[in-house]
Amino acid sequence: MSGKTGHVRGTDAAYRRAGPTGQEVSVSFALLLGAAFVLGVRHALDPDHLVAVSTLVAEERRLWPAARLGLWWGAGHLVPIAAVGLPLVALRVRLPEAWEHTVDLGVGVLLVALGLRTLWVLRRERVHFHVHEHDGRAHPHFHTHLGGPDHAHAHTSERVRGRISFLVGVVHGLAGSGAAAVVAMTAATSLAAGVAYLLAFGVGTWAGMFLTSLCIAAPTLAAVSRWERLYQIVRASAGLASVAVGVGMWLEILPALL
C-alpha cells in the first residue's frame, strides 16, 4: 500500500460487538489497558531507542538527571503517539508504508548524528586513545587533557540534553505512531477503548524508558566513581553503537524506498 493512505475496514460500528455483560466489559477493558502498558514498556527497549538514550545518558555524571533524560524522551515519544495516533484510530486510517519507511530512515539519520556528536564532544575534550609499551608489552590507554589550561569546555548542559532527548523521543514517536494505531484498532472493541489503548501504550513506553535510563545509569555511574577512565570509554562506546545502529537502519530501509 506504498504511497497511498489505506483505510482499515469498517467504521466505528466495526468496534461494537453484541452480548458481553458490564462486568465482562470492565475486565476486558482492564486487560486491554494492561496489555497496552506492557507492550509500551517493551517498546521502550527497542534497539534504536536504547542506543539513542544511552548516548545521552552516558554524558551525565549524576543518577537522577540521567533518569530524567528517559522521562524527557518518553514525553517526546508520547506527543506524536497522541497527535498522530489518536486521529488515525478515530478515523480508522492507516499511514502509508512509504511514510513509515521515510520516518524510520530519519531515525537512522538521527542516531548517526547523535553518535557523531558524542564522538566530536569527546574529541573536543581532547580524549585520545594511545598504545604504550611497558616491559616489551603493549598496553592500551585512554589519555585526556581535561583540566589543562587549554581545556575546551565542551560539556553539554543538562537542560540542553533534556531538550535533545525530548526531540529524539518525538522522532521515535513519529516512527511508531502508525503501527501503534493499527494495533489499537485491531485490539479495541470500541473507539474509546482504542483511544485508551493508545494512551496506555504511550504511558508504558514513557515508564519503560525512565526505568531503563535508571538501569543504565546506576551501574555505570557506580563503576565510573571507582574508575574515572570508564566514563570516557562508556561515552565512546555509546557513540559508536549509535552510529552503527543508525547505519544499519539505512542499509535495511533504503532498498525498500528505492
pLDDT at 12 over 80: no
Residue 7 and residue 93 in contact, taking contact as beta carbons nearer than 8 Å? yes
Residue 135 grid coordinates? 616491559
Would you give the distance in Å from CA 194 to the centre of its chain? 23
pLDDT digits (tens, 9 = 90+) for 232-243: 888 999 999 999
CA terminus-to-terminus distance, the chain: 15
pLDDT digits (tens, 9 = 90+) for 91-134: 988 888 888 889 999 999 999 999 999 999 888 875 454 545 55
CA angle 14, 20, 22 (to 5 degrees): 115
What is residue 143's three-state secondary structure? strand
Q: What is the DSSP letter of 58?
A: T
Per-residue pLDDT band for 61 (boundaries 50, 70, 90) equals: confident
pLDDT digits (tens, 9 = 90+) for 161-195: 899 999 999 999 999 888 899 888 888 888 899 99
Helices (H), the chain: 22-44, 47-57, 63-80, 86-91, 97-124, 158-187, 191-224, 229-257
Residue 206 and residue 77 in contact, taking contact as beta carbons nearer than 8 Å? yes
pLDDT digits (tens, 9 = 90+) for 133-170: 555 555 444 455 544 433 434 456 778 889 999 999 99
Give CA–CA dist 230/236, Å, rounded: 10
Give CA–CA dist 45/197, Å, rounded: 19
Per-residue pLDDT band for 8 (boundaries 50, 70, 90) equals: low
Using only the alpha carbons of the chain, give its radius of gyration: 22
Give CA–CA dist 55/232, Å, rounded: 12
Q: What percent of the chain has pLDDT over 70?
A: 78
Per-residue pLDDT band for 59 (boundaries 50, 70, 90) equals: confident
Residue 3 grid coordinates? 504511497
Per-residue pLDDT band for 60 (boundaries 50, 70, 90) equals: confident
Residue 86 and residue 200 in contact, taking contact as beta carbons nearer than 8 Å? no
Give CA–CA dist 207/16, Å, rounded: 31
Domain ranges (residues) in the chain: 22-257
